[in-house]
Amino acid sequence: MRARDIMKTEVATVFEGATVAEAARLMHASGQGGLAVLDAAGHVVGIVDQLTLVHLILPKYADDIGDLSFLPEGFKPFEARIEEIGHTLVRDVMRPSDVCAGEDTPVVEIAALMVMKNVSHVPVVRDDRLVGMVALQDIVDEIVWPHFKRDEED
């Protein structure tokens, strides 16, 4: 199975000069958890996804400490961060375009790339132009769930 077999071809994109707030709104409106980032010429230069947004809104000390259970209930560390990062440009937070695949890339390679690069979406490109997107959910839907469904039927 290859990227072309499972990729979505209707993909929301964002330009690298857009703000994080614009990208977040587009993700929400499109129902897509990852956006290919394009330069002015329309070439894929990176990806911004939900994981990127979560990393951005977490206070720096959350990364350093790892456990925030000591904070009082109702503590809202995100509000100020969200306002702050909303004006940040996508180009400054995107993952670079080395997280891309071709249409003939085997799905197992895309899955390995997702794990190695810690991403949930991989743009599929032809000549640096976006032709589709493979999400982690696409891999699960096509490979994992059918296997477990067979187990239930047996």
Predicted pLDDT of residue 3:
96
Asked whether the whole model's pTM tops 0.75, one would answer yes
- Measure the N-to-C terminal CA separation of the chain; round to a whole number of Å: 24
Residue 30 corresponds to which tokens in the numbers above?
């499109």
Domain 3-153, what architecture? Roll (3.10)
Q: Which residue reads 């072309």 in tokens? A: 4
* Residue range 84-143, pLDDT digits in tens: 777 789 999 898 877 889 999 999 999 999 999 888 899 999 987 899 999 999 999 988
Percent of the chain with pLDDT over 70: 79
Domain residue ranges of the chain, discontinuous segments joined by +: 3-153
* Residue range 83-101, pLDDT digits in tens: 777 778 999 989 887 788 9
Give the contacts of 8 (CB within 8 A, at least 6 positions apart).
132, 133, 134, 135, 138
Residue 148 corresponds to which tokens in the numbers above?
């477990």
